[in-house]
Amino acid sequence: MTDDDAWAIQKVLAQLEFPFIFIKSLQFALFRTYGIPTISGLLANTKQLSDPELSLKRYADTVVFIQEFISQAPSSIRSCSSVARTNFIHSGYRASGKILDDDMLYTLGLFAIQPVRFIEKYEWRSLTDVEKCALGTFWKSLGDGLGVKYDALPSGKTGFRDGLHWLEEVAAWSDDYEVRCMLPNITNHQTATYTAAILLYMVPRPLQHIGHKFVSFMMDERLRRAMLYDDPPASYTKVFSFLLSMRRFAMRYLALPRPYLFRYNSVAEHPNEHDRLFLTKWDAAPYYVKPTFWNHWGPTAWLTWVMGRPLPGDEGSKYYPQGYYIPDVGPKYFEGKGKKALEETMEELKSSRTGQCPFH
Both 101 and 149 in one domain: the answer is yes
Residue 354 falls inside a structural domain: no
Residue 353 falls inside a structural domain: no
The total number of structural domains that make up the chain: 2
- Please identify, among 261, 277, 307, the residue that sits at the C-terminal boundary of a domain: 261
Both 216 and 313 in one domain: the answer is no
Both 220 and 313 in one domain: the answer is no
Q: Which residues contact 241 (CB under 8 A, 6 or more apart)?
A: none
Residue 356 falls inside a structural domain: no
What residue numbers bound the domain in which 116 lies? 3-261
pLDDT at 76: 97
Residue 71 falls inside a structural domain: yes
Both 255 and 322 in one domain: the answer is no
Both 219 and 285 in one domain: the answer is no
Question: Do 281 and 295 contact (CB within 8 A), yes or no?
Answer: no
Question: Do 187 and 194 contact (CB within 8 A), yes or no?
Answer: no
pLDDT at 216: 97
Residue 351 falls inside a structural domain: no
Both 272 and 126 in one domain: the answer is no
Strand partners, 277: 324
Q: How many CA atoms lie within 13 A of 340 on its CB side?
A: 0
- Please identify, among 243, 261, 279, the residue that sits at the C-terminal boundary of a domain: 261
Residue 355 falls inside a structural domain: no
Both 148 and 231 in one domain: the answer is yes
Both 257 and 272 in one domain: the answer is no
Residue 22 falls inside a structural domain: yes
Both 187 and 310 in one domain: the answer is no
Tens place of pLDDT per residue across the chain (360 aa): 999 999 999 999 999 999 999 999 999 999 999 999 999 999 988 887 777 778 999 999 999 999 999 999 999 999 999 999 999 999 999 999 999 999 999 999 999 999 999 999 999 999 999 999 999 999 999 999 999 999 999 999 999 999 999 999 999 999 999 999 999 999 999 999 999 999 999 999 899 999 999 999 999 999 999 999 999 999 999 999 999 999 999 999 999 999 999 999 999 999 999 999 999 999 999 999 999 999 999 999 999 999 899 999 999 999 999 999 999 999 999 999 999 999 999 999 999 999 999 997
For the chain, the helix, strand and coil percentages under 3-state DSSP, each to the nearest 5: 65, 0, 35
- Please identify, among 236, 261, 286, the residue that sits at the C-terminal boundary of a domain: 261
**Closest alpha carbon to 75 in 4, 12, 1:** 4
